[in-house]
Structure 1
Amino acid sequence: MKIKIVILLSLFGVVSSFAQNTLDITVKDSHSDEPLIGVTAVLEALEKGAISDENGNIHMENIPNGTYKLLLSYLGYAPIETTFTFPLSQQSQGQTFAMVPQTEEMEEITLVSTRSTRTIEDIPTRVEVIAGEELSEKGNMKPGDIRMLLNESTGIRTQQTSATSYNSSIRIQGLDGKYTQLLRDGFPLYSGFASGLSLMQIAPLDLKQVEVIKGSSSTLYGGGAIAGLVNLISKTPEDTPELSFMANATSALGLDLSGFYSQKFDKVGTTVFASYNLGTPYDPADIGLTAIPEFDRVTLNPKLYWYLDEQTELLLGVNAIWEDRLGGNMEYVEGENVTDPYFESNETERFSTQLGFKHSFNDQNRIEVKNSFSFYDRIIAVPDFTFSGYQRSSFSELNYSKNSDNEMEWVFGANLWTEYFNDTREIESEALDQSYQIFGLFAQNVWPIDETLSLETGFRADFHSDYGAMALPRLSVLYEPSQALTFRLGGGMGYKTPTVFTEDAERVQFRNVLPIDIDQTDLERSIGGNFDINYKWIPFPGVTMSLNTLLFYTKIDDPMVLELDNGGYYTFYQPDGYVDTRGAEVNLKVKYGDFKLFTGYTHANVKQHQDGVVTDFPLVAKHRLNNVLMYEKEEKFWVGLEAYYYSPQQLSTGGTGQSYWIMGLMSEKKFGENFSIFLNFENFLDTRQTRFDQIYTGSLNDPQFLDIYAPVDGFVVNGGVKIKI
């Protein structure tokens, strides 16, 4: 009997020495005391980890006896390191840890477009931000322009308007590109005639982030943002200097070279961006027309920041672009002698200034003055026709903001927008001259009613030199019952000044386009709203998921339509009717270890209602899928697989385009902090419209181009290096 007892005691001692323990803790925000979902907890010595659930709880099992270091980490918060000795005492089990927001990391998602001190999670207006690694990854695909940054986002499409010169516009939720407002640091530098080649002439290397607001955003930026606005936010000088270079080459014989320098001194700071982009004529379909035109572009953007004191800052900046672009008959573009060739030539010069002055009276009160002048010259030439003109525009603004963490936030301001275009052709009867001024007064308020409910209201009164006064109200509501669940509801009104500079006029190079009769037209007016639900959860340990669903509707009354008359001229008129878009966007994000999956679905049902007849708006894919699977070892390398689906699209001829998939493979390998190489296989299925449909009818010397609804450049490989010094 004694022997049995000794054996049992020995076995109990062995089991005790390998005892398995559990750890239960809770993580919360140190400021709001709300639980944090998605915090990563790691016992490094054991390579054991867990993620906090929607209640901020972290549970870990099978922990052997001993002393181990626990690391808690979460984006935007200072990490916490602590030590536990197992078995735990009764006081150690069930501890609550308060994580402190870290300003340096939160700056990446602090919004600029809303003029609020609130971050993206706390603002009632729905804003999408492309920043950080996501911006860098998408910028690798097309370092010469920003089309890839936008085209891969749910609900946004860059629509190619020319088969041979690559001109493109931005469509949000299926609406025409003229209803999207493109800004640079809040300055409307790309409007009117200057919008035709804007997407092709903006390189992403000096961008800090891209902010997208879908739906009417009229309060701060005017009525033109009917479908939404895209605000390109530039990098600013930091205490740590930056000198970076990027070189990229493509299998289509394209070349992109760009450099960026930034440094902040005691009283001054500066940023300088310069790039050179070269395109070689490329015809993957071997049909004799350029899918990628020949182009040569130089960009120079220097900025000077003067810090007069801790509360006052002055900005002086210049943006300059020179480009020659030639597409059309391949042999002609390559320099051979061709009889009666078709070609499309674009020569552009863009020069704009930026002036900004900010002064903070204290932590809550600030005044800001902004001004820009833009000079844009462009010559478009096709056989037997040349369109040329210059645009002079300006933007001036004065605003005052009162911000507080716990009270109402106010923004009051006034701005003046002037637009002048001079058609330099000799035929005065067809001259598309245009000139107008818009003076606006605006006010915006953000009211945090309680910890779960915030209200944002805005009102703008615009006074148009040609069309009179407009009142534009806007409302957004944020309800956040928990950190895991958020509701947003918003809506507003907008308008668009009738202009000849549209996608339809761009497609015909403004040939035989007649000017708009101001006396016979009115403003295009819009009303719209959206409802947004965002939910985050942990389906099982190690996996975090977030689901965002957006329902939207926008109606535009009296839309301008371009119609070909019996005399061969194009006339703008406003039929009795409207255009509306309704639909949904769904975004799913899944993270498991080093894997990330992004899936987006867009349903856009855009209809034209004219004289009692309802038709589908052309060149809109009612169903679209965005899928990206990423594998990333932080600061080492990443590789991603993309797959995009476009459903059949209604064509302007009455026919229907074919559905298609586009797939790509992208990768980047980092060697330390200062050097990396990237390699991308864009559209490796070689999806091209020329493989399953025509892009023109008639002869090669006189092509009549059809709608471009699918890529024309096909499979392209690009790769290069990035260097930081």
Structure 2
Amino acid sequence: MSLFFRLLLLVHLLSFCLSAQQSSISGLVTDAEGAGIPMATIALQANDGGVVADVDGNFKISGLSAGQYTLSISALGYTKQGIKVSLKGGETKILEIQLEESSAMLDQVVVTGTMKAVSRANSPVPVEVYTAEFFRANPAPSVFESLQNVNGVRPQLNCAVCNTGDIHINGLEGPYTMVLIDGMPIVSGLSTVYGLTGIPQSMIARTEVVKGPASTLYGSEAVGGVINVITLDPEEAPVVAADVMVSGWGEVNTDLGLRARVGERAHSLLGINYFNYQQPKDNNGDGFTDVTLQDRISVFNKWSFDRKNGKLFTLAGRYVYEDRFGGELNWDKGLHRGGNEVYGESIYTNRWETFGTYQLPTRENLTFQFSANGHDQNSVYGETVYIAQQYVGFGQLTWNKTLGSHNLLMGSSYRYTWYDDNTPVTAGFGDDANVNQPSRIHLPGAFLQDEWRLNDHHTLLMGLRYDHNSLHGNILTPRLNYKWNSKHNIDVFRLSLGNGYRVANVFTEDHAALSGAREVIFAEELLPERSWNANLNYVRKFYTQSKSVIGLDATAFYTFFNNRILPDYETDVNAIIYANLEGSAVSRGVSLSLDWSTAGGTNVNLGATLQDVFTEEDGVRDRQLLTETFSAVWRISVPWLTRHLKFDYTGNVYGPMDLPLLGELDQRLAQSPWFSIQNLQATKTFANGMEIYGGIKNLLNYTPPANSIARSFDPFDRDVDFAEDGSVIPTANNPQALAFDPTYVYASNQGRRWFWGWRWALR
């Protein structure tokens, strides 16, 4: 072999050896606390190479030549980071890369489940969080309407005439739902019917929903669940915010917000909401307004104060005035209000609220919370006049202490409720029959909660509350919660067991009891309702190679009632009879929610609930009226990034509900049909942050049957013959034996309509 060929062979061998000395990069992608970030993407910017980290954040890129490389590391919920790496031949570079959480994707902090701030993933109580962005996908003028796309939560209309309603959670009716504002029991009692409107949407930071009894922390009314409307921090709110929306029906809703710094230590947030609808429509031809006329203004003001010790001090107040009317189209306020010539339901509401939080200047973590509200209602239902006032004062002192692996929360509270109206509820008895006797209820209580973190994967929460009701005596409500989570909270399992109670005030909760169409009868003294509840919740996160995150949330729930108070609409069509159930009542079912977020900004939220709500008495099982067995909701948000556009498609679908018929001859449907309300919206965002949005509500133009109001042509029952027992006698003019009744209602009469709005915030 010649020298030339020997040299050539040597060069090839050396090249082969050098090429065989390939380099690699391996490492770990972590968050700020050192925990591995699952499924992070590590890309080589110079070419299309790269890998996806495993569930522990580990990665390795092999087969690299010596040289300079730029890595791009990204993960959903974290800020992208670039790193330059220099490799020698045959070298293995080991890196530890820490990513910062994106402010838009931080794990939400919740307070409703345990009455203290905690990461949602670490909360032993399942809490659902809905941000302002979620509700902007289907903008609405009130919290009541906004909740229509929350899985397992349904705004229920209770009257086809004045369109008042309440919030159902897992099939349990409105009086079982406690509505809080910044953790304070503001919306309850008399205001349950009318107090859910008028909270300025521009002031809402998020809404937290807890399903199942929460009486251990919040006392009476928190039987079915809690909805906590959390308002913005005055220091973090936009300097100026405005949102104006109009609809094809003539509705106008305006939200205004203003943030100001007052002096060196005070921050103020002012919010004003004005809603007006004054164009009566009767598309179904029954002679009544399809939607109530409303003129409502709400003023909200929240203050926060900087203290030298860094402790919290906030103070807030709200005032709401509303003039609401529904009824026959020829009704005149000056001529017919409270009369028996033309039927109308007219409600004037004046309401004020104040609430706040003050952390005591002590070494221990002591917090005092307080609230007070007054509600003045002047209303007529046909010729029935209902005048009522209610004042509620509430104070609560809590002590939060960590002892090793135990996080203790102890508290004492006092609630005073004063209620008066012009009905027999507050009338005297015997010799004092002509003397008005307002209701006064004192409710002192104390509670203890221990959140015991057994280890990184197991948490146990135990709680007990004691209340003394001045009318019903001592009441104990225990709770037990257990949480297990896998590494990185990819799998979370929660078990909740609890007891709830409720002291009912029928006149302040059931609008049908106030309607001029029926007389209210109490068959016995009403005892407090008691319930036992069990919830089993499982949450799972999936990370895909396309940088998407899919979250599944499945829950099975079961609630058993003693002494449940149920209205009887069927024994006497002219009356509502209230009594404690001698048997039992059950609400049970399953729900499943899916959340899918992509790196491109698309968000999909799907949810479905299957439930069975019934009572059993004397061996007879009856489904609860106006309660669906199946419901589903969805929200699909798709951005068009290059055009700064976003499209939102939202909707719900409900299965059949049993409806309150007025007798065997009533030919109206005994069950509602399947129905769906769907909405479409487009939003254009400009460079200065201004947004213009618009779309169509109720795309399918669904409305209930035109005969929902029985005998709407005879609202004062002038041509109705009654037997001695109160039943209606069939006649030639009334062959179905009906009387005027507006309680056969399960959906709004408001059909398809366009809407558009303008929104802007200066930060």
TM-score (norm 2): 0.84
Cα deviation 1:313-361 (Å, max 9, x = unaligned): 4333221011101112234379999993322111100011224311364
1:198 aligns with 2:198: no
Q: Counterpart of 1:92?
A: 93
Q: 1:319 to 1:87 in 2, by over 3 A?
A: farther
C-alpha deviation, 1:89, in angstroms: 6.5
- The reply on whether 1:120 has 2:120 as its aligned counterpart is yes
Q: Are 1:697 and 1:705, in contact at CA under 8 Å, matched by a contact in 2?
A: yes
Match of 1:651 among 635, 648, 659: 659
Aligned to 2:615: 608
SS of 2:306's equivalent?
Answer: strand
* Compared CA separation, residues 44 and 424, structure 1 to 2 (3 A): farther
1:407, CA displacement in angstroms?
A: 3.4
The equivalent residue for 1:714 is 751
Identity of aligned residues (%): 20
Residue type of the partner of 1:680?
G
Counterpart residue identity of residue 461, structure 1: Y
Query: How far apart in 2 are the matches of 1:21 and 1:541?
Result: 27
> Does structure 1 retain, via aligned residues, the 8 Å contact 2:201–2:255?
no
User: Is the 8 Å Cα contact of residues 258 and 273 (structure 1) preserved in structure 2?
Assistant: yes
CA contact 1:444–1:458 (8 Å) conserved in 2: yes
2:111 is matched by which residue type in structure 1? L
- Structure-2 change in CA distance of 1:88 and 1:162 (3 Å): farther
Pairing 1:596–2:603 present: yes
Note the C-alpha offset of 1:541: 3.6
Report the alpha carbon displacement of residue 107 of structure 1 after superposing the two structures with TM.
7.8
Kept after mapping to 2: 8 A contact 1:281/1:334 = no
Change (3 A) 1:699 1:172: closer
CA contact 2:684–2:691 (8 Å) conserved in 1? yes
Q: Which amino acid aligns with 2:222?
A: A
Look up the match of 2:558. 553
Distance 1:658 1:228 in 2: 27
Q: How many residues align?
A: 710
Give the partner amino acid of 1:212. V
1:300 corresponds in structure 2 to 299
Q: Distance in 2 between matches of 1:243 and 1:425?
A: 46
Find the counterpart in structure 2 of residue 350 from structure 1.
Answer: 351
**Other-structure match for 1:642:** 650
Closer, same or farther: CA 159–53 of 1 in aligned 2, 3 Å: farther
Deviation at residue 525 of structure 1 after TM alignment: 0.3
- Assess, with a 3 A threshold, how the Cα gap between structure 1 residues 373 and 336 changes in structure 2: closer, same or farther: closer
Give the distance between the partners of 1:637 and 1:559, measured in 2 at CA. Answer: 50
Structure-to-structure mapping, 1:432-443, within 5 angstroms = 434-443=439-448
- Determine if the alignment matches structure 1 residue 582 to structure 2 residue 584: no
* Matches of 2:704 and 2:492, distance apart in 1: 41
Q: Give the equivalent residue in structure 1 for 2:258.
A: 261
Mapped to 1, the partners of 2:150 and 2:23 lie a distance apart of: 45
Tell me, in whole angstroms, the C-alpha distance in 2 between the residues paired with 1:58 and 1:494.
Answer: 50
**Residue in 2 aligned with 1:661?**
676
Output the CA distance in 1 between the equivalents of 2:64 and 2:343: 74
Q: 2:72 aligns with which of 70, 73, 94?
A: 70
Q: 1:670 to 1:71 in 2, by over 3 A?
A: farther
**Alpha-carbon deviations, 1:468-512, whole Å to 9, x = none?**
111111111110122211111111101000211466443652765
Which segment is superposed worse, 630-639 or 651-660?
Answer: 630-639
Aligned counterpart, 2:699:
684
| Secondary structure in structure 2 of the residue aligned to 1:627 | strand
Contact 1:500–1:516 (8 Å) recurs in 2 = no
In 1, Cα distance between equivalents of 2:183 and 2:550: 33
Report the 3-state secondary structure (helix = DSSP H, G, I; strand = E; otherwise coil) of the residue aligned with 1:704.
Answer: coil
Secondary structure at the residue paired with 1:573?
Answer: strand
Cα distance in 2 for residues equivalent to 1:668 and 1:603: 33
Name the amino acid aligned to 1:168. G
Q: 2:723: which partner in 1?
A: none
Q: Residues 383-398 of structure 1 correspond to what in structure 2 (within 5 A)?
A: 383-398=382-397
State how far apart, in whole Å, the 2-side matches of 1:487 and 1:520 are.
42
C-alpha distance in structure 2 between counterparts of 1:21 and 1:694, whole Å: 79
Q: Distance in 2 between the 1:124 and 1:529 partners?
A: 14
Q: CA separation of 1:102/1:413 partners in 2, compared to 1, >3 Å: closer, same or farther?
A: farther
* Structure 2 counterpart SS, 1:695: coil
Match of 1:625 in 2: 632
TM-score by length of 1: 0.88
Letter in 2 for 1:83: K
Which runs of 5 or more residues in structure 2 are unaligned?
Answer: 662-668, 716-739
Q: Distance in 2 between matches of 1:145 and 1:183?
A: 15
SS in 1 for 2:133: helix
SS in 2 for 1:147: helix
Shift of 1:370: 1.8
What is the SS of the residue equivalent to 1:520?
A: coil
Name the CA distance, whole Å, in 2 between partners of 1:282 and 1:85. 74
AA aligned opposite 1:285:
N
Distance 2:343 2:23 in 1: 78
In structure 1, what is the Cα distance between the partners aligned to 2:613 and 2:556?
A: 14
Q: Which letter does structure 1 place at the counterpart of 2:596?
A: V
Give 3-state SS (helix, strand or coil) of 1:696's partner.
coil
The aligned counterpart of 2:407 is: 409
Match of residue 283 from structure 1? 281
2: CA distance, partners of 1:520 / 1:302: 41
Residues 425/56 of structure 1: CA separation in 2 closer, same or farther (3 Å cut): same
| Corresponding position: 1:320 with 2:333 | no
Query: Following the alignment from structure 1 to structure 2, what is the Cα–Cα distance between the partners of residues 432 and 333?
Result: 34
SS class of match (1:548): strand
Question: CA 1:197 to 1:422, structure 2 compared with 1: closer, same or farther past 3 Å?
Answer: same
Question: Cα deviations across residues 544-565 of structure 1 (Å, max 9, x unaligned)?
Answer: 2221111111111111122356
User: Is 440-449 or 664-673 further displaced after alignment?
Assistant: 664-673
Q: CA deviation at 1:641?
A: 1.7
Note the C-alpha offset of 1:465.
0.4
Q: 1:225 aligns with which of 198, 211, 222?
A: 222
Kindly provide the CA deviation profile for residues 553-585 of structure 1, in whole angstroms up to 9, marking residues without a partner as x: 111111112235659443321131121111111
The equivalent of 1:272 in structure 2 is 270
Q: CA shift at 1:248, angstroms?
A: 0.8
Aligned to 2:722: none
Secondary structure in structure 2 of the residue aligned to 1:220: helix
Larger CA deviation: 270-279 vs 561-570 = 561-570
**Cα pair distance change 1:90/1:488, threshold 3 Å:** farther
Does the Cα contact within 8 Å between 1:354 and 1:373 map onto a contact in 2? yes
Task: Give how far 1:108 is off.
Answer: 4.8
Contact 1:538 1:544 (C-alpha < 8 Å) held by counterparts: yes
Return the offset for 1:143.
3.8
- Rounded to whole Å, the distance in 2 between the matches of 1:149 and 1:21 is 56
Displacement, 1:266?
A: 3.4
Q: Which moved more, 1:204-213 or 1:430-439?
A: 430-439
Q: Which runs of 5+ in 1 are unaligned?
A: none
Contact residue 513 and residue 576 of structure 2 kept, 8 A: no
What is the match of residue 370 of structure 2?
371
Residue-by-residue CA offset, 1:161-213 (whole Å, 9 max, x unaligned): 12132211010000111101011112111111111112233332101111111
Q: Greater CA deviation, 521-530 or 416-425?
A: 416-425
State which structure, 1 or 2, has the greater radius of gyration over its C-alpha atoms. 2
In structure 2, relative to structure 1, the CA distance for the partners of 1:28 and 1:211 (3 Å cut) is same
Q: CA deviation at 1:716?
A: 2.3
Q: Which amino acid aligns with 1:119?
A: S
Q: 1:409 to 1:145 in 2, by over 3 A?
A: same
Q: What does residue 728 of structure 2 align with? A: none
Report whether the alignment pairs 1:675 with 2:690.
yes
Q: Look up the match of 2:472.
A: 467
- Structure 2 residue aligned with 1:141: 138
CA contact (8 A) 1:246 1:722 kept: yes
Q: Which residue of 2 aligns with 1:699?
A: 712
Query: Residue deviations 1:507-544, cap 9 Å, x none?
Result: 65276554758x83311001101011111123554432
Query: Do the aligned partners of residues 558 and 425 (structure 1) sit closer, same or farther apart at CA in structure 2, a change above 3 Å counting?
Result: closer
